[in-house]
């Protein structure tokens, strides 16, 4: 049974393992530790199944805007709807905490993520040229406004 909860510092190793499995340029353990300790300006959630963390999602809280930093589901658990559940929960929590708009960047080639984000009500606002490295690729800037949220 899947459960979603706020991430704690004790989750850092599992989050780091997922980072390495999912991203060509994973965040360092030091970065993850910082993200999990700065709880006033950060919100991280984990998806847990049978005691094992299978995914996580995080955001920065800047004034009244949320900036989603990463959403990752371990490759062995993809295509089960867990990413959408985790993202939906994160968006709801950010709106509860007073965010009026939530942003994220996504690789232009990441069709699965783009499809999920659109289903959750996010729309493309612009493009960041050469935003990603390894490989170099543009990113779409997507956002959702509280009043338009379908989540």
Assigned fold of 2-148:
Aminopeptidase (3.40.630)
- The answer to whether 117 touches 104, Cβ cutoff 8 Å, is yes
Instruction: Write down the mean pLDDT value for the chain.
Output: 90
Q: Is 117 a known active-site residue?
A: yes
At residue 55, the pLDDT reads 96
Burial class (CB in 10 A: 0-12, 13-18, 19+), 66: buried
**Residue 95, pLDDT score:** 94
105 part of the active site: yes
3 state DSSP class of 115: helix
44-94: pLDDT as tens digits: 999 998 889 999 999 999 999 999 999 999 999 988 889 999 999 999 999
pLDDT band at 40 (very low <50, low <70, confident <90, very high): confident
Question: Which of 42 and 24 is assigned the larger pLDDT?
Answer: 42
Alpha-carbon distance of 80 to 83, in angstroms, equals 8
Identify the band that residue 19 occupies on the pLDDT scale cut at 50, 70 and 90: very high
In percent, how much of the chain has pLDDT > 70?
97
Q: Pick the catalytic residue: 49, 105, 131, 137? A: 105
Out of 44, 56, 82, 117, pick the active-site residue.
117
């Amino acid at each position: 049974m899947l459960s979603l909860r706020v991430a704690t510092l004790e989750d850092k190793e599992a989050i780091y393992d997922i980072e390495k499995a999912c991203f060509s340029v994973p965040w360092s353990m030091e970065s993850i530790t910082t993200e999990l300790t700065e709880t006033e300006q950060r919100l991280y959630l984990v998806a847990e199944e049978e005691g094992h963390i299978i995914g996580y999602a995080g955001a920065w809280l800047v004034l009244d805007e949320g900036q989603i930093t990463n959403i990752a589901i371990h490759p062995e658990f993809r295509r089960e709807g867990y990413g959408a559940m985790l993202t939906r929960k994160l968006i709801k929590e950010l709106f509860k905490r007073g965010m009026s708009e939530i942003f994220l960047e996504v690789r232009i080639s990441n069709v699965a993520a783009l499809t999920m984000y659109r289903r959750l009500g996010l729309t493309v606002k612009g493009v960041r040229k050469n935003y990603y490295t390894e490989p170099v690729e543009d990113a779409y800037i997507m956002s959702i406004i509280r009043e338009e949220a379908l989540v």
